[in-house]
Amino acid sequence: MAHFEITNAYIAVGGVQATPKISEAFSLNVDFTVHGTPTAPYVVRFNVAEQKQESTETALTPGPRSLSVPYGTLPLDGEIPWTVHIDPDHVTSSPHTGTPIRQGSFEPVPPNTGIEYYDPVYVHLVQQLGVDFTGDIGEVKAMIGRPSNGVWQNVLSTQSFAYRYVAGTSSAYRFDPMTETKVDNPSKYEVYLWDKTDGPALKSFTFGIDSYLEIKNARVNADKLREVTWHDLHTVSDPKLQWYQQPEKVIQSDDPKITAFVKNHLGDDFQSQMTPYDAARKLFCAVLKHCTFYYPDEGEPDKRPTTAVGMLEKRQGDCGCFSMLLVALFRNIGFPSRTSCGYWIGPFAHCWNEFFFPGHGWVIADGAVGNTICEDGRFAYCFGNQDAMNKRLAVMKGNTFFIDGFGNDWLQGPIWPVAEGATSMTPSSGFVDGVLTLVDEVDPAFVTTIKDIKHEPSAQPPATATPVHMLAKSPEAKLRREAAKACPCSRHGGFRPLPGVQRKVGETV
C-alpha cells in the first residue's frame, strides 16, 4: 500500500504558473509525493469546470512526481473551479490514509474592451445548387444567402453566379449573376435573387455564391457588458435593431410559454434584481439544462421542432432549435437578437445566435455547443466567449427572408427554384438534394492578392473545389479537408433543413 501527498497544484500557461486569458490554452499541473510502494497502477483525476481527464501512473516506486494535463482553450469566463484527485478509487492506497485532493479556482483574464476579436483565419466559400428541368418553363425564381460583414466575420470578396443550360444555343451554358437585393423587412438583410422568365429551351440551372472571408474568435469582458442597462435596451432606436426585438414566424418571443419560462428562471422583478447581461446568461444556462442536443440519423424520422416554442416543449433539437429558443428568450427580455447560420470549415452545417449590447455590438451565444460541453447548465460555455468562431462562417442572419412573397424562414441553404408552367425538376448530377457547400481554409498570403471574383460565360458550370495553391498548409487545415473529402452528405456540405421549412422540388410558394 502507498499513500500520496499533494505538495502543489496550479494552473499554468506555457508551462509557467499563470492565469490564462479567456480562451487561452492552459494546463492543470500537480506536484505530489508517493509514500510507500504502490501495488498497482493508479489514476490521477483532473476536473476543470466539469471537463474531466485522467492520467494513469505506472511508475510503482516512492518519491516525487509531477504531472501536467493540457486543457487547451475553454470558451468560458468567470470563476472556473478545478480539482486534482490522486487514486480516487483507492487501487493502491487505503481510504484510511486520507484523501489526496487539491481544489482551487481561477478567473481568466478578460479583454480590455467589451468585445474582442482575435486569431483571424481566411476561408473560401462556395455554395451552389443545381437543377435539371423538363417541360415548358415560365418564370423561374430562386434565392441564396449572402455572407454579411460584421461581428466576427469580414467579407473580403463575394459574388453570385447563375449558369443556365439552354438547348440549341451556341454556348451550352449562359452566365448571369443573380441580383443582389434586400429582403422586405426592416432588417434589410441582403440576399441574392433570381427572378427571370425562361422558355422551353432551358434544361438546367446552376446558381450559387463564391466568397472569401476573414473570420475571428470572440471573447468578452462581462463587467463592461454589465454596464448596459435595461433603459439602454428599451430605447434602441435603429429600425434594424428594433426588428430583431420583435417576434418572427418561428421566433414566438411574445408567446405566453416563452414568458413563463423567463419568469420561472428570472422571477417577476428580474429587471430590478439583475443586469441585462446576467439575465441573458441565466436564461442561457437554463436552456442548456432544459434541452438536449438531438440530430436525426440518416433514414430515421426527423423529430426536430421547427419553432422556438416547439423546442421549449419538446426539449430536444439541433443547433437551429437551440438558436430559435435562445433568440425568443433574449427578445422576450428586450435584447435585439437573431439566429446566425452557416458552416464550419470542412464543412458542417451549424447555427448559433447573436444578441446586441448598445455601445458594444453583437455578442455571440452557441447553445448547442454549450449543451454538448455542459448539459446541466452549471457553466455558461460558449456564452459570449467563442474559441471556434474562426472555424465557421454565416450565410444568413434572422429568420424572415421574403421578397414580393417569395422566400423562406431559413436561408442556410439555397431556396429551391420555383418555376411556372408544366415542368418537373430534379437535382443535377453531382449534388446531394441539389445543394453542395464547400468551405476551405486558404493561405493568408493568397488572400492579400484577392481583388474580385470573376465568373465568365462558360461551356460548363463553375468548379466547386478550391484551387490547391490557395489552400492553407497547416496540419489542422489538412486534417479538416481530409475529413470532409468527397463526402457531400448533410453533415459535410449537403443541406438538410429543418423538416417544417423544407421546400420540395418544384413546389410553389
Secondary structure of 361-420 in HEC code, one letter for each residue? EEEEECHHHHHHHCCCCCCCCCECCECCHHHEEEEEECCCEEECCEEECCCCCCEEEEEC
Buried-exposed string 99-127: b where 16+ CB fall within 10 A, e elsewhere: ebebeeebebebbeebbbbbeebbbbbbb
Measured between alpha carbons, how far is 318 from 316 in angstroms, rounded to an integer? 7
90 with 133, same domain: the answer is: no
DSSP character at residue 500? G
Q: Let me know if residue 111 belongs to a domain.
A: no
- Answer for the pair 420, 357: CB distance below 8 angstroms, yes or no: no
> Does 187 lie in the same domain as 131?
yes
Asked whether residue 454 is domain-assigned, the answer is yes
User: Considering only CA atoms, which of 166, 159, 178, 160 is closest in space to residue 132?
Assistant: 166
Query: What letter does residue 477 receive in the DSSP assignment?
Result: H
Contacts of 155 (CB under 8 A, 6+ apart): 147, 148, 149, 211, 212, 213
Calpha distance 55→74 (Å, rounded): 20
| Residue 508 is assigned to a structural domain of this protein | no
Structural domain span for residue 129 = 117-216+398-501
CA–CA distance, 297 with 3 (Å, rounded to integer): 49
- Please check whether residues 359 and 230 belong to one and the same domain: yes
Domain boundary among 76, 106, 136: 106
Same domain? For 82 and 210 the reply is no
Domain-embedded: residue 509: no
pLDDT tens for the chain, 509 residues: list them. 788 999 999 999 999 999 999 999 999 999 999 999 999 999 999 999 999 999 999 999 999 999 999 999 999 999 999 999 999 988 888 776 777 999 999 999 999 999 999 999 999 998 888 888 887 778 889 999 999 999 999 999 888 888 888 776 666 677 788 999 999 999 999 999 999 887 777 888 888 998 999 999 999 999 999 999 999 999 999 999 999 999 999 999 999 999 999 999 999 999 999 999 999 999 999 999 999 998 887 778 888 999 999 999 999 999 999 999 999 999 999 999 999 999 998 778 899 999 999 999 999 999 999 999 999 999 999 999 999 999 999 999 999 999 998 999 999 988 878 887 767 778 776 665 567 788 888 888 877 776 656 666 666 666 666 777 777 777 676 766 665 554 444 444 444 555 444 333 334 33
Of the residues 82, 106, 130, the one at which a domain ends: 106
Q: Are residues 302 and 201 in the same domain?
A: no
Q: Is residue 112 part of a domain?
A: no
Answer yes or no: do 63 and 137 share one domain.
no
Going by C-beta distance under 8 Å and a sequence separation of 6 or more, which residues neighbour residue 288?
367, 370, 371, 374, 375, 376, 377, 380, 381
CB 447 within 8 A of CB 156: yes
Does 64 share its domain with 172?
no
Q: Do 259 and 374 share a domain, yes or no? A: yes
Q: Are residues 44 and 126 in the same domain?
A: no
Kindly state whether residues 230 and 377 are assigned to the same domain.
yes
Q: Nearest 5°: CA angle at 100, between 99 and 104?
A: 115
Indicate whether 250 and 385 sit together in one domain: yes
Asked, for residue 284, whether it belongs to a domain, the answer is yes
d(CA 71, CA 47): 10
227 with 270, same domain? Answer: yes
Give the CA-trace dihedral at 91, 93, 98, 103, to 10 degrees: -50
Which of 138, 132, 201, 136 shows the shortest CA–CA distance to 420?
138
In the chain, % helix, strand, coil (3-state, to 5) comes to 20, 40, 40
Output the domain CATH number for residue 30. Answer: 2.60.40.10
Q: CATH number, domain at 332?
A: 3.10.620.30
Strand ranges across the sheet with 415-419 = 179-182, 190-197, 139-145, 415-419
In angstroms, the CA 64 to CA 18 distance is 22
Domain count, the chain: 3
Is position 18 within any domain?
A: yes
- How many alpha carbons fall within 13 Å on the CB side of residue 241? 17
Where among 106, 138, 163 does a domain terminate? 106
Looking up cell 417576434 gives: 247
